[in-house]
Structure 1
Amino acid sequence: MHISSTLNPLTRSAEDVPVLIVALDGKRKFLPRPTSFKALKRDIRSRFALEDDTGLVLSVSTLDICEGEDVELTEDVYELLASVLDVVKAAVADGSDDDAGIRTPAPTPPLHHERDEPHDEPHDNDENEAEVAEFLCTIKQESDDDEEVFAGSKYGGGDSEEEDDAPHARRALEKAFPAKKAAAKVKQEVEEKETKPLRLPKTPKQHKPKAESDEDASASTPKAKATPKAKLNRADTTSSTQSSSEASFKIYVRNAQGTRKLFKTRGSHTVQKIINSVAANLKIDAEGSSLKLYRIVEDEDDPELESRYECGLLQTMAEIGAEEFSEFVIYADGEEEED
């Protein structure tokens, strides 16, 4: 019969395939199409594990002339219909095959139901047992062959030998399994990229101004010429107050004895707050003390001329023009700076 696939209509046999399907007791099996009616019955008994003298009644219903009804298949018409037979139904008859009478075969489920309800073949069939034994022997032989690849003396030994022979083992595996060579190479490249240390660009070091020591401050501070004291007004501090009053910065403050320290402040801090903090740190009585800002004013005759301005207690650091590393001096009542 000509066979085609139900999944892919393009898959079909170009020539007649000499096989047929035999249905018996709800089971269906492919059988090679025999040339004689007696051979067909003998093959059915063998494949379905029936006794040699079991009586069989055969019928067909899939031919168009049968109109869907079961029609008995007999020996005198078998050779004429053999080439067009596809499904043959078999039923066990009462008595032996010689005196078997015609018996209506049991209804057989449609073909499409067989795919949903598969049945296992009997395990006592000699032919099936031989096929299973041959299949198991083949699997064992393949397993032994795979073990021989790794169990040879070249790849045996301890851990040190395995590390030394790793390249040889890899080449042996690539030779035995060429399809996995490309995938293994890609995996190795990915692992090398993941384990390679990340190199970050070097960031140039930023040099911060180094604070001077107390001894250097007292030695390097230029002598100030006595100048009249003047109060700062709002006009003098207009440009300074434009900067953010919350930005923190550092200032230098020294006492009358020349002890100089670095303090952190903000533009919104008042002079009184700085006096309280500095006086406590330098151990000066802050009550009545005044904070004075040193601002360097360049002069053509004396570039190191210093002008000293008195700061109001309620003025802020921004208002008096304080900025990063500005110089201040604090005096207690009755103290005077030594020139």
Structure 2
Amino acid sequence: MHRLLRNPFSSGSSTSPQAALYALCVSFFMICLDATVVNVAVPDIRASLGASLNEAVWVNSAYALCYAVPLILAGRLGDRYGPKRIFLAGLTGFTAASLACALAPSASVLIAARAVQGLAAALIAPQTMSLIVHLFPAERRGRALGVWGAVGGAAMAAGPVIGGLLITWTGWRGIFLVNIPVGIVGWIAAARLLPDWRPAKEHRLDLWGIALSGLGLTALVFGVQSGEAYDWGPSSAPSRSPRSSPSAPCVWRCSCGGSTATPASRSCPCGCSTTGTSPQPPLPAEPWERPWAVSSCP
């Protein structure tokens, strides 16, 4: 018990780098899993919380956006305060946000909790690579990074399968509740096994760059995802019917080569059979704008 409750920021350099890698991979697997595990829960979330399709999609997008935007800032924070400290802070926030997601009474609360999850995941991800580079010498680093990358890829691929099983057994809230014991185990393992190391060189924080990149990404994702819901940018392209315009005059031709100019006179003076066709407009240059059928007179 004394070893379990010791100072989590004490040095873990006496432990095996391989054991530290396993501790890092537990948390990295969890944050990568949450990027895809929610996909299969969208119908259940909509039915349970009465969410619109746009709100259900934002449950995923809020996590991805808040995960991607602050990655550079999170890496700089690790350089300044130590990767282990930022890693444990992110893991604490991620576990707490997972509980908030599981208890969310509405779609808006769930989206907000997922955003906090994404921010916490952004604190975790850069520290895993930084600690691997520190723990492993150059000749062993490639294999360690290969394990780290394989864990992330396997987590994202397994997300829909694991999500489907959890929804079947426990409902959609179970995909968030499972993070709590995993997060606690990962926190204890990281506190015991990771070294409290800090890079010697501190890097300047580019706050303006981070703010502008975050604003730009947010605007882009919001426009692509929610633009239709707000009727942004109505299409100005003219609609094109696969058939000719009804106002186009029909030309009736008989089998002997004669023709009549109006559809009112459909019979040929020589008594031959007649067929009617409507002249087609010139084909547009773009193939996808061309009419799909040649029309005939009614």
TM-score (norm. length: structure 1): 0.21
Q: Larger relative contact order (C-alpha < 8 A, sep ≥ 6)?
A: 2
Larger radius of gyration: 1
